[in-house]
Amino acid sequence: MEYEIIIGLEVHVELSTKSKIYCSCTTDFGGEANTHICPICTGMPGVLPVLNKKVVEYAVKAGLAANCSIAEYSKQDRKNYFYPDLPKAYQISQYDLPLCQNGYIDIEVEGGAKRIGITRIHIEEDAGKLMHDENETDTLIDYNRCGVPLIEIVTEPDMRSAQEARAFVESLRNILQYIDISDCKMQEGSLRVDVNLSVRPKGQKEFGTRTEMKNLNSLRSIVRAIESEAKRQIEVIESGGIIVQETRRWDDQKGISYSMRTKEEAHDYRYFPEPDLMPVVVDEKWKEEIKRSLPELPDARRKRYISGYGLPEYDASILTGSKALADFFENAAVKSNNPKAVSNFILGDVSRILNDKGMEAEDIPFPAEYLARLVKLVDMGTISTTIAKKVLEIMFEQEKDPEAIVKEEGLEVVSDEKALIEVVKKVISNNEKSVEDYRKGKDKAFGFLVGQAMKETKGKANPKLLNKLLKEELEKKNL
Ligand code: ADP
Ligand code: MG
Ligand code: ZN
C-alpha cells in the first residue's frame, strides 16, 4: 500500500527584543548561568509581570508578514505544568484568544508554489535550560533564558514531505529575518521546530493518529526525523499495530526517535486567564503603524528582481532566499549597468568562496560596490573573466578595491599585438602535434593551443585578439 505523510509544524522563535517579556532583564544569549535573572523571571512570590510592548509589536509584524488577521483583543493565559525549567510552575502563553490567526505562507516546491496555512501565532515566555551532562549525579539549571519572549507559530497539517517541511522552515526563517524580529539561529535555539506527523493510506480522507517530535534544531535533523518517523509509523501499521498519540524525542546522533510521554491534552495544562496581566489590545491605528513599518518581503522582492532587473526566476529566488544576499546583490546592482553579470558572480564565484570558507553572505568582507566595479572591469575588457575570479579571491583576503588589485598584481589584459604574436609563435613551435592535428581539421586542437597561449600569459591575453592572431599564424604555416 502507498502512504501519504501529513505534517504540521509548531515553531518557537525567540524575539530579539533587548529585554525579557515581563521584566527588564537582558535577553542576551550566553552569559554566566543565572546572571540574567530577577525576582520576576524566577517567579518569586508577590512579583507582578509587566508586558514588554515590543513583544506585541514584533508578534504583530510576524502575523502581518504571514498574512494573518490580527486580533484587536487578545489575552494571556497560564499554562500550568510542573517541571524545574519553569520556576513559576506555569508558563504565561496564549490559549483561546491568540494575537494572530488564519494566515499563510507560500513555499517553493517541485512544480511551483504551495500555500501552507498558518493556524495561529501567539506570544509566550521561554523556560530555563536544564543541563544534564555537566555533572554525573545532578541536573543544573540556568534561568537566563526564562522569560525570553517567544512567538509560537502553528501551521495547518498542510505539508506532505520532509522537503516541504524544510522549505517551509526556510521560508519562515527568511521572512522573520527580513522583518528583523529574530536572529533565527537554530543552533543557538532561537528557532526550534516541533514536528507533528501522521501517515494515511493514499486516497483515505481522514488523518491518521499523529505523534509529535520536539525541539528539532537544524534543518537536517528536521528532514531526518521526518523520514525516520514516517517509516516507523508505516511499519507499525503494516505489521498490524496502531499508532499511539505521543511525544517523541529525536536523537540526532543515533538517528532514531523514542517515546518520551503520551501526548498531553489541553485540559492537562489547566489553562486559565492570567489574572496579573491586562488584555492585549491592538487597535486599528497601531496595527496600521506596524504594517507601514514592514519592509519589502522576500516574495515581493523576488518579483521586483524579475521585472526590475530582468533577472531569471531562478536567480531572483536564490538571491532573495537570504536577506543578506539580496541586500548585497541590490547594493551592487544599483551601481552597475549589468545586473545579470552581478547576479552571475554572486550565484557563482561569491557563493562558492563563501561555501569554501564556511561564511555567510553577511560576512562578505568588501562593499557590494566593489563587485559592481569588478563586473565593469570585465565588461570594459580590462580583465578577463578568468582573471576576475582571481581578483575576487583577493578581495576576500585583502582590503583593496578591484582596480588596485588589478594594478598591483599586473592583471590587465594583454592587448599588445607584438607581445601576443611572440607567445603564439612559441606555442606553435612547442606543440607540433597539435598544429598537425589542427591542419587535419581537428577543432579541439585549436582550443588546446588557445589554452596553452593563455597559460603562457597567465590568463591575461585578450581572448579575441589571441584567437585572431593564433588563427592567422596557423594559416601562415599552412602555406
Ligand atoms: P495541540 O494543541 O494538542 O498541540 P493542535 O490540534 O493544535 O494540537 O495541532 C498541533 C499541530 O499538529 C498543528 O501544527 C497541526 O497542524 C498538527 N496536526 C494536527 N493533526 C495532525 C495529524 N493528524 N497529522 C499531522 N499533523 C497534525
Ligand atoms: Mg501544541
Ligand atoms: Zn528578570
344 Cα distance to chain centroid: 20
Give the residue with greater pLDDT, 459 vs 12: 12
Q: For a substitution probing ligand 1, which of 4, 102, 118, 154 has the most ligand atoms within 8 Å of its CB?
A: 154
Q: What's this model's pTM, rounded to 2 decimal places?
A: 0.84
Of 81-85, 102-106, 223-227, which range is least confident? 81-85
Distance CA 397, CA 155 (A): 44
Please tell me which residue, 313 or 381, carries the higher pLDDT value: 313
Q: Note the ligand closest to the C-alpha atom of 124.
A: 2
Q: Which atom of ligand 1 is nearest to the CA of 264?
A: 3
Taking the C-alpha atoms of residue 22 and residue 25, their distance in angstroms, rounded to an integer, is 9
Bridge partners (DSSP) of residue 79 are: 91
pLDDT exceeds cutoff 80 at 267: no
Give the torsion sign (CA, 276, 126, 167, 322).
positive
Average model confidence (pLDDT) for the chain? 93
Ligand 2 midpoint to CA 10 (Å): 7
Which long-range contacts link 113-117 to residues 24+ away (Cβ below 8 Å)?
114/158, 114/164, 115/158, 116/155, 116/156, 116/158, 116/159, 116/164, 116/168, 117/155, 117/156, 117/158
Q: Is 230 in the pocket of ligand 1 (CB under 6 A)?
A: no
Confidence of residue 23 (pLDDT cuts 50, 70, 90): very high
3 state SS of 391: helix
Rounded to the nearest whole angstrom, what is the distance from the C-alpha of residue 50 to the centroid of ligand 3? Answer: 11
Task: State if residue 10 touches ligand 1 by the CB under 6 angstroms criterion.
Answer: yes
CA 335 to chain centre: 26
| Cα 133 to ligand 3 centroid, rounded to whole Å | 26
Distance in Å, CA 279 to ligand 2 centroid: 22
Protein residue whose Cα sits closest to atom 14 of ligand 1: 8
77 CA distance to ligand 3 middle (Å): 19
Mean pLDDT for the stretch of residues 410-430: 88
Mapping DSSP to helix (H, G, I), strand (E, B) and coil, where does residue 252 land? coil
Q: What is the mean pLDDT of residues 314-334?
A: 94
The kind and range of the H/E element at 67 are none
Kindly report the backbone phi and psi dihedral angles of residue 204, in degrees, each rounded to the nearest multiple of 5, phi listed first. Answer: -75, 140
Strands 112-125 and 90-93: unpaired
Is the distance from CB of 384 to CB of 463 less than 8 angstroms?
yes
Domains of the chain: 3-288 (no CATH), 296-409 (no CATH), 417-478 (1.10.10.410)
Q: Minimum-distance ligand to the CA of 160?
A: 1
Phi-psi region of 100 (alpha: psi -120 to 50; beta: other; left: phi over 0): beta
Q: Say how many Å lie between the CA of residue 176 and the centre of ligand 2.
A: 21
pLDDT digits (tens, 9 = 90+) for 28-63: 988 999 999 999 999 999 999 999 999 999 999 999
- Give CA–CA dist 5/346, Å, rounded: 36
> Which is nearest to 409 in space by CA: 396, 390, 423?
390
Task: Of 332-341, 402-411, 433-442, 469-478, give the range with the top mean pLDDT.
Answer: 332-341
- What lies within 8 Å, CB to CB, of 472 at 6+ separation is none
For the CA of 154, the nearest ligand: 1
The pLDDT, as a whole number, for residue 135 is 80
Phi, psi angles (nearest 5°) of residue 40: -70, -50
Q: Does the beta carbon of 154 sit less than 6 angstroms from any atom of ligand 1? A: yes
> Which residues are found with C-beta within 5 Å of the ion, ligand 3?
23, 25, 38, 40-41
What digits encode the pLDDT tens for the residues 128-180? 999 888 788 899 999 999 999 999 999 999 999 999 999 999 999 999 999 99
Q: Which atom of ligand 1 is nearest to the CA of 198?
A: 24
Mutate to test the pocket of ligand 1, among 210, 211, 212 (most ligand atoms within 8 A of CB): 210
**Whole-number Å distance between alpha carbons of 407 and 373:** 14
**Sign for the pseudo-dihedral over CA of 195, 201, 205, 207:** negative
Give the pLDDT score at 478.
Answer: 58
pLDDT band at 410 (very low <50, low <70, confident <90, very high): confident
